Structures are given as structure tokens and as C-alpha cells.
Amino acid sequence: MRIILVHGFNASPQMNFHPWLASELRERGFEVVTPTLPLAASEELNLPNIVEEMKRQVGYLKSDDILLGHSLGAFIVLQYLEAVEMTETPRAVIMVAAPLKVSRPELSRLFLADLDADVLMWKSREFVVVHAKDDTMVPFEHGQKLAQMFKARLVETNDGGHFMGEQYPVLVETVEDIAKQPFEFTPGQNLMDDFAHSLYP
């Protein structure tokens, strides 16, 4: 099983929890890919270029891939899902401390205005949102709303802030929990939950 870790704005695979998480997952037998993307404040944020870098470093997605994006990296994952040609549906997308929107105009072009959540829900077997209640950079409400939009499982923690520290066991636990679950559903199957109590057969 391959785990793709996507860093956030002004970060890299060598920052925050990424080195630790990559090491922990490799010790558990996962293949880990940590693309380095042009997401620095000193660079012009060019979405097509960012997606092309993802394509070059990640390649085609497989049915047992789990993509984990931190903060802005979560939306790069979504943009990648929308842009890349897919022959298989990845196992899961994990969005860690992901913002629903931002106020900085140079970042706003990367967000949901260009994404269709109803379509994206069919491009992964499962969506999971991990968000801390004490996140002062991206309020917890963002995670709640994203979970609603993507009909995702919400993993909430009381602390952890914006997940910019070195170690977060909940991330390993979340990946392992997904990995050990059999494929009992197909993409978008959870959409039918909305009609479970319909008056119409």
C-alpha cells in the first residue's frame, strides 16, 4: 500500500510531522511518497505547474493508494484528483487541518471555487478529515464543514493546533485504521445515506 504525503504552503517533506510520519509508516511496511511541490511564498503559485509536479513525482494513482494532505496540501490533493487521468480509484484521501477557504488572494485560486465536491466524492473510496479543536490558524469549523461536504469521517482531536509539530500519533492511527479495513464499499456509496429514510422506494 502506498501513502502519498503532500505538504502545505511554505513547507516541505522535511518540515513539520512529515519526516516522522514517513519514517513511522515505512517501519510499518507502507511505501511512502513525499513529493516536493512549488508551494512557497517566494514563488508564484501556478496551479497547472503544481499539478504537473504531482504527476511527475506521484504518477498514476492505484486502488490501494492513500493520499494525505496537510493544510493547503489537502487541496492540492483534491486538485490532483480532479486533473489526473485515473484508471483506478484510490483507497482514501485524508485532509489534515485543511482550510475551507483563505483570505490571501494569491492562495484563493487553489480552493473550492474550481472544485466540484459532488464529482470529487467519486474519485476516492473514502474521505477522512483530521482537525484539532484548538487549531488557531484554521478554525475547527472548517474541518466540520469539509466533512459535511465530502461526507467524510471526521477525526477530531482536542489538541494539536495546526499540526505543525513533529509527531502526531493520530495520523499513524488514522492511516492504519483505513489500511486494515476491507474494501466494503465503492466510491460514492455513502451518498446513498441521504436517501436511507426516504418515503419513496
Q: Which domains occur in the chain, in start order? A: 2-195 (3.40.50.1820)
pLDDT in tens, 147-192: 998 899 999 999 999 999 999 999 999 999 999 887 655 444 444 4
CA pair distance 39, 9, nearest whole angstrom? 5
- Give the torsion sign (CA, 179, 167, 76, 120): positive
Report the pLDDT averaged over residues 68-79.
Answer: 92
Q: What is the mean pLDDT of the chain?
A: 84
pTM of the full structure: 0.85
Q: Is pLDDT at 112 greater than 80 in this prediction?
A: no
Backbone phi and psi for residue 62, each to the nearest 5 degrees, phi listed first: -115, 165
| One-letter amino acid for residue 121 of the chain | M
Side-chain-facing half-sphere of 51: CA atoms under 13 Å: 13
Place of cell 511527475: 56
CA angle, 192 as apex, 191 and 195 as ends, to 5°? 120
What is the rounded end-to-end Cα distance, in angstroms, of the chain? 39
- Which of 93-102, 103-112, 130-139 is the least confident region? 103-112
